[in-house]
Amino acid sequence: MAEHEDLSADKLEALLRLTADYVQPSRDLRPQVLEAARERQTERKLRSQLLLVSAATFLVAISVQFLATEPPRPAPTRDALLGATSGEMLALAESRVVQRSAGWNWGLVDLFFRLRAQQADSLRASEQTP
């Protein structure tokens, strides 16, 4: 640094002007920069689209789950099974399946036992009344 201290301002400016030609950008620098910018923009778009699709899928899944669960049905009355049609019996079995998260077979078994108990109670009641 000591050797350059004797330079005048004019000589220093001339040296700086000469260094302007030392570094030259390559001819393909601009296309490379534009390509990189396009790739980044494409990646950002894809990320935002993926985020939107994921959010929509999540909302649809939650909505379907919410809509698929039925509200609990009221328990049948004491004599509801005695005069019930097959459709009503299946609906009652379905309500038992939903309440207990069991399969159809266990819902029908439970309904059958309740029907037999009601029939037995009805038979006993009819025997006691003369």
Rounded average pLDDT per 10-residue block, the chain, 130 residues: 69 83 83 94 97 95 80 55 68 67 70 79 75
CA dist., res. 42 & res. 38, Å (int): 6
pTM above 0.75, yes or no: no
Q: Residue 97's closest CA among 70, 116, 78?
A: 70
* Secondary structure (3-state) at 31: helix
Predicted local distance difference test score (pLDDT) of residue 82: 63
Predicted local distance difference test score (pLDDT) of residue 81: 62
Residues 6+ apart with CB under 8 A from 80: 88, 92
